[in-house]
Amino acid sequence: MSKSLDAILKEIDERKGEMIDLLKTFISFQTPAPPARNTKEAQQYVASLLRELEFEIDMWDIYPNDPNVVGLLKGTASNSHNSLIINGHMDVAEVSDDEEWELDPFTPIVRDGVVIGRGAADMKGGLAGALFAIKLIREAGIQLRGDLLFQSVIGEEVGEAGTLQCCKRGYSADFAIVVDTSDLHIQGQGGVITGWITVKSNQTYHDATRRSMIHAGGNLVAASAIEKMTKVMEGLGELERHWAITKSYPGCPPGSNTINPAVIEGGRHAAFIADECRLWITVHFYPNETYEQVANEIEEHILNVAKGDIWLRENPPTFTWGGTSMIEERGEIFPSLEVDPNHLGVQLLASSHQRITAQEAISDVSPTVTDGGWLGDAGIPTVIYGPGDLLNAHSVNEQVSIEQLVAYTKVLTTFIYNWTNQSKKEVRTREI
């Protein structure tokens, strides 16, 4: 005989020590990215836990020693009832040798109501709580009517988008929750795309020819690519300021759509005029924009800037956008994610939050990015909802509140139970 939902919620309090132990185990797996290529053991552990809960397991390498894990628990009425994706990443932020941690970052500490260790907030706490919620539902003998998919992915910290690979593999659902760091806010996000702008001369000159380039009678129409890149940077600044006064989005501070000239590379040797200069930029854009749109806007503006320069007019800048890895390709994309507050899944999650915490759910926009944009890009209604706060994410002595972790686990348990036992027909009717 199955237990009631209320009995499971009570059990979360009684057995929270097991959940904390699971989080400690996750933290003990050393999975920083960079350097990455180190999640296999942790992912095998996740797969083993899901197998014990009778999930079908799909595990495949995205990069050597960095596999994705997807577990599928078929519902008893999959065709007629809501399916759900729970998504999180196993990689954590890198740890520098000079960081002054209280203990080794991968030796978890439990005290004063928190768990300390790399990944506690971002986002092994979210993974541990979600798995524990599913474990108690399964142990209670509750049969979910809709499908439940658990995705433990790699590469989020370095733009390798393990979640995108899940989408490409065909995994989808009626709703998805990315259990990343949100301080229990229901969040969408803006997007990020990196790009390289290249200014290149079609010929290389000795530095002794510089006089002929810049003084009267020199008769050599040529230029330093480094100096010409300054005009490109000025143009980017103009566009950034234009965006700040012409674009906005509810919940985002004004001017959140930025163009950061992050890295510049140019020239080959002091004895040459710089024949090439490359600028690496990071662009933040709003939830209602796409990365293709903002890339096109930048290209159009900079090419118009180039038309106003005699040399750049004949040697226009070129552009390379995005990439599948900051490690492999020095490039990344994080699509934006808009949340529809009227979607039944969003409303049900908000009501689950209010039931457990006795506080109205806060819906806003994350100031950072997650893999959630890829799920939204694939047409899956998605929200970010997880324990931990951004002040702790990537920080020295990173930590997560145990009280918040327990509340999150109860909310997720409530939502999983209610969402997957609701008919698809009811969701469609509400949306109409």
Note the pLDDT tens digit of each residue in 295-305: 999 999 999 99
Residue 310 in domain: yes
Residue 104 in domain: yes
Residue 387 in domain: yes
pLDDT, residue 2, reads 65
d(CA 33, CA 156): 9
Whether residues 88 and 223 share a domain: the answer is no
In the listed set 264, 290, 321, which residue is the last one of a domain according to the structure? Answer: 321
Rounded average pLDDT over 40-55: 98
SS (H, E, C) 73-94: ECCCCCCCECCEEEEEECCEEC
The conformation of residue 214, written as its DSSP 8-state character, comes to: H
Dump pLDDT digits (tens) for 328-380.
Answer: 999 999 999 999 999 999 999 999 999 999 999 999 999 999 999 999 999 99
DSSP 359-403: SPPPEEEESS--THHHHHHTT--EEE--SS-TTTTT-TT-EEEHH
- Let me know how long the chain is: 432
Whether residues 199 and 264 share a domain: the answer is yes
Dump pLDDT digits (tens) for 65-112.
Answer: 999 999 999 999 999 999 999 999 999 999 999 999 999 999 999 999
Whether residues 207 and 66 share a domain: the answer is no
The count of structural domains within the chain is 2
SS3 label, residue 317? coil
Dump pLDDT digits (tens) for 111-129.
Answer: 999 999 999 999 999 999 9
Whether residues 352 and 392 share a domain: the answer is yes
Residue 327 in domain: no
Whether residues 138 and 219 share a domain: the answer is no
d(CA 192, CA 180): 17
d(CA 285, CA 322): 14
| Average pLDDT value for the chain | 96
Whether residues 40 and 137 share a domain: the answer is yes
Whether residues 195 and 185 share a domain: the answer is no
Q: Is the pLDDT of residue 431 over 60?
A: no
In the listed set 296, 321, 346, which residue is the last one of a domain according to the structure? Answer: 321
Q: Which residues are catalytic?
A: 91, 156
Residue 329 in domain: no
In the listed set 292, 321, 350, which residue is the last one of a domain according to the structure? Answer: 321
Say which amino acid occupies 67: P
Residue 370 in domain: yes
The CATH number of the domain holding residue 102 is 3.40.630.10
Nearest to 12 by CA among 134, 124, 116: 134
Task: Give the domain range for residue 219.
Answer: 191-321
Please tell me the least confidently modeled range out of 34-38, 170-174, 268-272, 283-287.
Answer: 268-272
Whether residues 277 and 223 share a domain: the answer is yes
H or E segment and range at residue 116: strand 114-116
Whether residues 268 and 395 share a domain: the answer is no
pLDDT, residue 217, reads 85
Q: How confident is the model at residue 55 (pLDDT cuts 50, 70, 90)?
A: very high
Whether residues 179 and 93 share a domain: the answer is yes
The conformation of residue 2, written as its DSSP 8-state character, comes to: P
Burial degree of 247 (CB within 10 A; 0-12, 13-18, 19+): middle
Residue 332 in domain: no
Q: How confident is the model at residue 432 (pLDDT cuts 50, 70, 90)?
A: very low
**CA-based torsion, 43, 48, 52, 58: positive or negative:** positive
The CATH number of the domain holding residue 251 is 3.30.70.360
